[in-house]
A and B are shown apart, each in its own frame.
Chain A
Amino acid sequence: MRRTLLVLAAAAALALALRGIRLEEDPVHSLAHPDPIRAQVFDRYQAQGLFRDLIFVEAEDLAAPDAQALAAGLREAGYAEAPLFERPSPETVLRLAPLLPPDEVERLMGEDALRRRAGEAASVALLPGGDAVLEELERDPLGLGPALLTRMAGAPSGGGPAVRAYRSPRPLVYDRIGKLYDQLVRLGPRVHFIGGDFFALENYRAARHDILVCTAVSLLLNLLLFHAFTGRRVLLALLLVGSAISYLCGLVAIRAFFGEVFAVVLAYTSTFVGFNTESVVYLSAIDPRRKREALLGVGSALGTTLIGFLLLLTGRTVMIRQMAVASLAGLLGFLGFLALYPRLLASVRFRTFRWPGLALSGRSLVVLCLAAAGVVALAGVPAVATHVDAFRFQTPVLDRQVAHFSRKLDSLSLEDVVAFPAQGSAEEALSGLATQGLVDPARHPLARLPPRAEQEATLRALSGYGQAVARLVALLEEEGIRIAPAPRLPPAVAPLDGWHYLELLGTLGPVRWTDEVGGRRWLMAGLEPGAAGRDLGAAVAVSPRHHYDALLTTLSRELGLLFLAGLVAMAAFLAILQRRAVRVLYVFAPLFLAAAAFAVWARLTASSIHIVHLMGFSLIIAVGTDYTAVAVSGGHGPVERSKVLVAGLSALATFGSLLLARHPVLRELGATVAAGCAISVAFALLVPLRQGAGEGG
């Protein structure tokens, strides 16, 4: 009774500690470049980027009712239309004025234009709310701003429907955004849409599905399995309550170390019941006469599992670290819970079976492992590369939208923008990149910077600015309207150099073209398609897709090295515990076979190793080596084999459940670990190490 109260109190306290935890839907947000300069270049580009807090909708030939319904849908979801180009401040307008052609400036300051402008302003001012027009007129009396925006944004090309931008509501209410999303999908293909909110929404829906389905299926299968092998309901209750405790411990640990939890990590915690089943199995039914062997197996199994989790803890993506923290805390929480019930664990009995098998000698084992290594060498170690598509959920609907807008961005030379460290003038920097075949200078905004002589001609034309403004004010006064604009150009208005021009352009438009980070000047330019894949040295990919692909590949390589380091640590740990090289080799033998199978599969399917495979490998060495460790520690006795069978089937059920997930991270993780564990459990059950093998060390 006291134990039950203690458990309930602990569960209540843990649940209370979870208050205020925030959920993050999009796993891409867990990525940050480890190099602070590169991270800053990317973040600053994105802070102003096309997709930051905006969605874009392009509608073509919509009937009036559909257009109205779409406008209502956007409104109800909380979206407010936003300009693609910010209205320049009066100061910025004047600083950019040299960009206008001299003849356009003269036209804007001509008597006809001034009369027309005054007449239009008076007419519009007579509308209710029309004084907003007069405010605008006061800020920019000659209309230089709209002329500049037209020049910078380009005249409507007639090359397709206009794209409209909408500011995202904060916080996101997924139910409302979901309705809008479904409406947009129904309107396709006449409507195209894109924005971070839609990725977050799809990941939210996928994560919600995965959390429910994977947890339910995994729990049910494990309880059925446990019941089938032990036949005791009290043990089911032990597993169920203990799993709840471990789940809470995992979440509290995430809460303690991170501000928010990734939804995909919550879905991943459905695997805890599998780890817990394994712990119950290994710690129960220990024969007092063979306690030493049993504890050797338990120590080996739990130790390798902990090493596997610690390995993931050193990963550089927040999402992977959250999985590791949750796993470690969940495991420790469950072990603490089990410590309250030693008698119950001791009373457990497993059904035993007769197993056929091919006993291996130490020599045969070495040959087998060498052969597997030879297969890996022949098939070749697959390349390590991760694309962002493998890291987050994305339906074919969004795939089509991405493809559509990628084509549009490509036409603007914005699909694959790279920040290049630059020296000298902007023109020299761009010219250098063009010489290397990296960029097309004709597609860079610098191509639209007028020559200095033309800018000077514009400034000469603007010398009549004060007189034109005075004339406009007088014309408006005749209509009874007063405005008080700045009477003359500030003296600082001067021809623009390349860097200055790009900086000003970045303050108005949705794209930053230059920046200063880490004491260096950076020039942004669209990478030519032919240059994709080339080593760009210190340059930074700043378009999200390309940036995350490069970043995930770097992080995958790091995780690969950590995985190898983890294997060495695990081998050292097992060498201390098992004291026989051949026994350690036996524990690792399934990994050799799994590696060979993976290498052949990767060769046949031309697949590469990506970051989720590496996460899976870490879990395989955490879980998959347990079976051989327990089996060899217990001398392949019938009880140990039954334990291996139950734990193995539990792992297969748990990670197999992840195959039902929508999220590619979970699905790929489930497939990798289930395949690795299947090889491992089959090896431990069917290929025992011959008694006495390796006794000589």
Chain B
Amino acid sequence: MIAALVAAALLAAPGAGPPVTPEGLRARYGGIRRLEADVVQVKEGKHWARPFESRVRLRYTPARVEWETLAPLHALAVIEGDALYLAGPDGQRRDMGPMAGDPRLEAILRFVRALLSVDLPGIERDFALAYGPGELTATPRPGSPLELFTTVRLRFEADLSIASVDLETRDEKTHLRFERVEQEPAPAAHP
């Protein structure tokens, strides 16, 4: 796993990636209706006994995001609007109760939704964006409810399909590697 991270970091070294521009990303992701991907997530930090790797199936539509952890445990988190709920193994919906309605949680959910669909205006709401070769770096704006993040970095393939996302908070680093990304409309058909 560490080797994979090192490889990802090397591949994303400055100057190694395609030019990433707002126009290019808008053309690639603007008006997206569906995005699905397999994601390998690695979390490490204060709250994790050891680097925690999980395999995830991501299903995105503008109205709903499903983040289904397949292994090592099974969990399905669904974001709909400003609400977050979990779907248990029995398919029953478990609302996150009093957490719903908390603007800070809602800000995180909005951000996750924007992040996973590379929705630039959605990300820019709380972050200042910097474009570099092959990557986009987002830093929280002062006073943003998302100041818990220190840096967010998105890396892209040559065709601007998303390759990985790194999120850093004070106590945690999360690395997401995207595989088998499918989107609708398909990039080639996209104006």
B161 in the interface, Cβ–Cβ < 8 Å? no
Most buried by B among A87, A124, A134: A124
Number of interface residues of A (CB under 8 A): 33
Contact partner of A123 (CB less than 8 A), chosen from B69, B98, B108, B144, is B69
Contact A82 B46 (CB under 8 A): no
Q: Are A129 and B49 in contact (CB under 8 A)?
A: no
Chain A contacts for B73, CB-based, 8 A: 122, 479
Say yes or no: A126-B47 contact (C-beta < 8 A), given A80-B145, A146-B97, A150-B98. no
Q: Would B167 and A129 count as touching, CB distance under 8 A?
A: yes
Determine if B75 and A131 form an interchain contact, defined as CB atoms under 8 angstroms apart.
no
A146-B96 Cα distance, complex, nearest whole Å: 11
Residue of A nearest to B112 (CB): A128
Shortest CB-to-CB span from B128 to chain A, Å, is: 15
Please indicate the chain B residues that have their CB under 8 angstroms from the CB of A83 in the complex. 102-104
Indicate whether A120 reaches chain B with its CB closer than 8 angstroms: yes
User: Nearest-CB distance from B68 to chain A (Å)?
Assistant: 10
Residues of A within 8 A of B54 (CB): 126
A146 touches B145 (CB 8 A): no
With contacts A83-B103, A126-B77 known, is A134 near B49, CB below 8 A? no
Q: Are B165 and A128 in contact (CB under 8 A)?
A: yes
- Please tell me if the beta carbons of A480 and B103 are within 8 angstroms of each other in the complex: no
A125–B47 CB distance below 8 A: yes
Nearest residue (CB) in B for A164 is B103
The interface size of chain B toward A, counting residues with CB under 8 Å, comes to: 50
Query: Is A368 among interface residues, defined by CB-CB distance under 8 A?
Result: no
What does the 1/0 interface line of A207-251 toward B look like (CB < 8 Å)?
000000000000000000000000000000000000000000000
Contact of B112 (CB < 8 Å), options: A127, A150, A162, A481? A127
Q: Using Cβ atoms and an 8 Å threshold, which residues of chain A touch B104?
A: 83, 132
Complex: chain B residue closest to A169, CB-CB: B143
How far apart are the CA atoms of A618 and B174 in the complex, in Å? 71
CB neighbours (8 Å) of B46 from chain A are 131, 482
Residues of B within 8 A of A87 (CB): 102
The answer to whether B108 and A126 have CB atoms under 8 Å apart is no
Residue with the highest number of chain B CB atoms closer than 10 Å, among A75, A83, A131: A131
- Are the C-beta atoms of B98 and A480 separated by less than 8 Å? no
Chain A, 63-98, contact with B by CB distance < 8 Å: what is the 0/1 string? 000000000000100001111000100000000000
Query: Would you call A134 and B84 a contact (CB within 8 A)?
Result: no
| Contact residues in B for A482 (Cβ distance below 8 Å) | 46-49
Quick one: CB contact mask for A474-518 with B, threshold 8 Å, 1 for yes?
000101111100000000000000000000000000000000000
Q: Which of A82, A120, A128, A133 has the most CB of B within 10 A?
A: A128
Contact check, B77 vs A127: say whether CB atoms are below 8 A apart: yes
Interface residues of B in 68-92 (CB under 8 A from A): 69, 73, 75-77, 84, 86
Complex contacts, B105 vs chain A, CB 8 Å: 132
CA distance A133 to B86 in the complex (A): 14
B11 within 8 A of partner (CB): no
Cβ–Cβ contact A132 & B48, under 8 A: no
Q: Are B48's CB and A123's CB within 8 A? A: no
Question: Are B148 and A132 touching (Cβ within 8 A)?
Answer: yes
Q: Which of B116-173 contact A (CB under 8 A)?
A: 116, 125, 143-146, 148-149, 165, 167, 169, 171-172
> Does A120 contact B112, Cβ atoms closer than 8 Å?
no
Tell me, in angstroms, the Cα distance from A83 to B104 when the chains sit together: 8
Q: Tell me whether A149 and B48 are in contact in the complex, defined as CB-CB below 8 angstroms, given that A75-B125, A123-B75, A128-B112 are known contacts.
A: no
Residue on A nearest B45 in the bound complex, by CB? A131
Q: Which of B101, B106, B111, B174 has the most CB of A within 10 A?
A: B101
* Separation of A146 and B101 alpha carbons in the complex (Å): 11
Picked from B75, B102, B116, the residue with its CB within 8 Å of the CB of A126 is B75
CB 8 Å contact bits of B24-58 with A (1 = contact, 0 = none): 00000000000000000101011111101010100
Given the contacts A80-B143, A83-B102, A125-B47, A120 and B96 also touching, CB distance less than 8 Å: yes
Whether A390 sits at the interface, judged by CB under 8 Å, is no
Contacts of A483 in B (CB 8 A): 47
A135 within 8 A of B: yes
Which of B106, B111, B112, B148 is in CB contact (< 8 Å) with A81?
Answer: B106
CA distance A134 to B170 in the complex (A): 13
Check B102–A128 contact: CB distance below 8 A. no
B84–A124 touching, CB < 8 Å: yes
The answer to whether A128 touches B167, judged by C-beta atoms less than 8 angstroms apart, is: yes
Q: Which of A134, A138, A149 has the most CB of B within 10 A?
A: A134
Query: A147 contacts the other chain (Cβ, under 8 Å)?
Result: yes
From residue B13, how far is it (CB to closest CB) to chain A in Å? 23
Name the A residues within 8 Å of B8 (CB-CB).
Answer: none
> How far does the Cβ of B44 sit from chain A's closest Cβ, in whole Å?
10
Indicate if B176 sits at the interface (CB-CB under 8 A): yes
Residues 113-171 of A contacting B (Cβ, < 8 Å): 120, 122-129, 131-135, 138, 143, 146-147, 149-150, 162
- A123 and B103 form a contact (CB under 8 A): no
Bound: A127/B116 CA distance, A: 11
Q: Which single residue of chain B is at the shortest CB-CB distance from A156?
A: B101
B9 within 8 A of A: no
Residue of chain A at shortest CB distance from B50: A480
Q: How far is the CB of A563 from the nearest CB of chain B, in Å? A: 48
Q: Closest approach, in angstroms, between the C-beta of B49 and any C-beta of chain A?
A: 5
Q: Are A481 and B98 in contact (CB under 8 A)?
A: no
Give the distance to chain B from A151, nearest Cβ to Cβ, in Å.
Answer: 10
Q: Are the C-beta atoms of B108 and A129 separated by less than 8 Å?
A: yes
CB distance from A662 to the nearest CB of B (A): 34
Closest to B74 in A: A123
Q: For residue B59, give the distance in angstroms from its CB to the closest CB of chain A.
A: 14
Q: Nearest Cβ distance between residue B1 and chain A, in whole angstroms?
A: 14
Contact among B69, B149, B171 with A135 in the assembled complex (CB-CB below 8 Å): B171
Complex CA–CA separation, A126 to B49 (angstroms): 14
Task: Please give, as numbers and ranges, the residues of chain B lying within 8 Å of A134 by CB-CB distance.
Answer: 47
> Are B176 and A481 in contact, CB atoms less than 8 angstroms apart?
no
Find the A residue at minimum CB distance from B51: A480
A128 close to B48 (CB less than 8 A): no
Say yes or no for B186: interface residue by CB 8 A criterion.
no
Decide: A149 near B98, CB < 8 A? Known: A126-B54, A129-B169: yes
CA distance A162 to B82 in the complex (A): 14
- Whether B98 contacts A147 by the Cβ 8 Å rule is yes
Q: Complex Cα distance A318/B178, Å?
A: 63
With A126-B54, A128-B176, A147-B98 as given contacts, are A481 and B69 in contact (CB-CB < 8 Å)? no
Contacts of B98 in A (CB 8 A): 143, 146-147, 149-150
Question: Are A127 and B67 interface neighbours, CB within 8 A?
Answer: yes
* A133 partner residues in chain B, CB cutoff 8 A: 99
Among all A-B residue pairs, the 3 with the closest Cβ atoms: A146-B98, A81-B103, A123-B75
Give the A-binding residues of B (Cβ under 8 A): 41, 43, 45-50, 52, 54, 56, 67, 69, 73, 75-77, 84, 86, 94, 96-99, 101-108, 111-112, 115-116, 125, 143-146, 148-149, 165, 167, 169, 171-172, 174, 176
Q: A128-B176, A129-B111, A480-B50 are in contact. List 6 more A-B contacts (CB 8 A).
A: A80-B103, A81-B145, A124-B96, A126-B41, A129-B174, A131-B169
Interface residues of A (CB under 8 A from B): 75, 80-83, 87, 120, 122-129, 131-135, 138, 143, 146-147, 149-150, 162, 477, 479-483
Give 17 CB contacts A-B under 8 Å.
A81-B107, A82-B103, A83-B102, A83-B104, A120-B86, A126-B67, A127-B77, A128-B116, A128-B165, A129-B112, A129-B146, A129-B148, A132-B108, A138-B47, A143-B98, A146-B99, A147-B98
